Amino acid sequence: MKHIMLQGTSSHVGKSILTTALCRIFYQEGLSVVPFKAQNMALNSYVTKDGDEMGRAQVAQAEAAGLEPFVEMNPVLLKPTGNSCSQVILMGKPIGNMSAREYHKGYSLKAFDTVKEAIRRLEERFDMMVIEGAGSPAEVNLKANDIVNMRIAKYLNAPVLLVADIDRGGALASLVGTLELLEPDERDLVKGLVINKFRGDVTILQPALDFLEEKTGKPVLGVIPYLPDLGIDDEDSVSLDDKVVTKDKSNAPIKIAVIQTPKISNFTDFDALSREDDVNLYYVKEGEEIGEADLILLPGSKNTTEDMLYLRNSGMEEAIKKAHAKGTPIIGICGGYQMLGEKISDPYHTESDNDSVKGLGFLPMETIFAEKKLTSQVKAKCFKWHFMGESLEVDDLFGYEIHMGETCFTKECLNPFTITQRAGKDVEIAEGLINDEGNVMGAYIHGIFDNDKYRRGLINILRKRKNLEPLPVSVNYAAAKQHAYNRLAQTVRENLDMEKLRQIIG
């Protein structure tokens, strides 16, 4: 098997996106290619067909490689819960919460055996592996127990491309400094440098590139331009602060506000909504105004009780209730759905030290966290459910569930969905809740807005409230993502020395 690994001078330099690009390039060239990241830390996760949980970035990379995602692509997933603690997911299953010290000092090297077994399985099936590192290989305080950067490169004798983000500044110093901090055998594995997110005239940068090659003895394989509006799922919430509006949508008739909490997870649930031309979707943090939103969305959370307390203590709960009193509808997904209820209890302290927290009280239900997590892909339908005085019927919905809460209703209300298949088995399970007034709704199904007919149907309900004509389905979200992968691959292919890269790969 051939390997190429991308490591970065720091987090968020574009390793995930460049890994995605190489997966698509090699896939387009007819190679059997698979992405791999030994350990991922992210709150955006996904559930495979086998019910395993994995990082969202590897899902995008798998799609770019023409593959159905499976957990060997990301054998270790860390989901931060707060207070330097994370839920540890090993081969798709949670094994418990660990502090940073417990994981790095006592467990990570044990997990490396599982990582090696995942690699063995991938090597049996594929010809090429595109590997993503994490953070920086020069984090000297973590190197002894690191299982995702140079330990992987040395284990596989994989050539490494070192990536720096020039948009944030200090790219030259970070490349030189990172190489200086590596051990000689690690430095030998670095076969090329990549400058990412460049804006401007590359010829002006040439003296710096010449300096880099002379100083480090490593070739600069390419300068990748800054690519706005990628249309590819973001890895984690840090990217929310870096989102750049490339097309002014302030005049879009439908305005949707997403409440951004500290432990927001799976905000990719709303990416498809943001792709619609008539929708202006924006995120609202503490101190910011909800504005004249036509819809408020409450996203998932890795620590629902803490995020609920954050809403309360920050004043955002009051702002949400004021907006709702003026007639703004609300939809919650997963943790956001739980917050819409009357109470959230955590008797086993699976997420936090809070025994129970009062919810927003919009829906007649209570949620109790269980010790076991439910992870499954689902198919569902909505059958003439009523929201904002309108009905919607779609019978071929898909999505996935990731939650530890069990929700019980304190009175009868309308269930917006019926789950028809869970983890490949036919079922008939009522899902979600709509209040009597038909203006607050919640459900556990992630990815529900990726369904084109459902998404457009909901937007048209909001359009009708504003006396606007309904619009037909115009965005095929799955096809749009494939177009985004092709666009990314073409840009990287044009700006990376592919001949030199192939020589490095061998």
Catalytically annotated residue among 23, 85, 334, 413: 334
What's the chain's Rg over C-alpha atoms? 23
Task: Show the tokens assigned to 79.
Answer: 């989901």
Q: How far apart are CA 495 and CA 499, in angstroms?
A: 12
Active site residue 85: no
Inter-residue contact 216 to 171 (CB < 8 Å)? no
Instruction: Please provide residue 60's backbone torsions phi and psi, each rounded to the nearest 5 degrees.
Output: -60, -40
Rounded to 5 degrees, what angle do the CA atoms 89, 336, 357 make? 90
Inter-residue contact 357 to 305 (CB < 8 Å)? yes
Handedness of CA 329, 332, 336, 338 (dihedral sign): positive
Q: How far apart are CA 324 and CA 92, in angstroms?
A: 38
Buried b (16+ CB within 10 A) or exposed e, 119-144: beebeeebebbbbbbbbbbbeeebbe
Active site residue 446: yes
Closest Cα partner for 274 from 502, 479, 149, 455?
Answer: 455
Handedness of CA 255, 382, 439, 355 (dihedral sign): negative
Q: How far apart are CA 173 and CA 152, in angstroms?
A: 25
3-class state of residue 251 by DSSP: coil
Rounded to 5 degrees, what angle do the CA atoms 317, 320, 323 make? 150
Number of residues written out for the chain: 506
Handedness of CA 207, 208, 212, 213 (dihedral sign): negative
Closest Cα partner for 419 from 368, 383, 465, 457?
Answer: 383
Closest Cα partner for 222 from 191, 265, 187, 182?
Answer: 191
> Which residues participate in catalysis according to the annotation?
334, 446
